[in-house]
Amino acid sequence: MKKVMVIIDESNSSYDLLVWVLTNLKDVIDSSKVVIFAKQPQNSFTPPTALSSSVGFAQIFYPFSANAELMRLAQEKNTKIALGILDKAKKLCGNHGVKADTFTDVGDVKDIIHKIIQERKINLIAISDQQNRNLKKCLPTTECSLVVVK
């Protein structure tokens, strides 16, 4: 029994990839579940922790404590988006009679993919040609097969 993982994002090409996998790899995935992964973007917004104002030679600092709250709100938004993407993907799988495990994570893609392959014993990863350009640095070292769909 082979485990197939499909890496998706919000692009239409990701859903086309998933449909291609469900249609063309039907024999492989009939005996197992498809694993669908959507990476959450890392928060790159870092607001200042203090605002300063110059008055002659003196500077006045105003503490700005909303940093943690802004980061939490941004992460919540990213999680909701990723879960929405995965929900749509799971419905597509259901329409093809395939059960899917879906999950999302935050962090470096290279580390996440290697962790997933190890923990879930993935045999085959399917990605789009567009994703291949972004992921080609981390995928050559994986211990499973890779299908790139154009």
Tell me the domain boundaries of the chain. Answer: 2-38+65-148
Instruction: Return d(Cα 69, Cα 25) in angstroms, integer.
Output: 44
Sign of the torsion formed by the C-alpha atoms of 69, 70, 73 and 74:
negative
Q: What is the mean pLDDT of residues 34-57?
A: 60
CATH of the domain spanning 2-38+65-148: 3.40.50.620
Q: How far is CA 19 from CA 7, 14, 81, 93, in A?
A: 12, 9, 20, 8
Mind listing the pLDDT tens digit for each residue in 60-88? 444 545 577 777 888 888 889 899 999 99
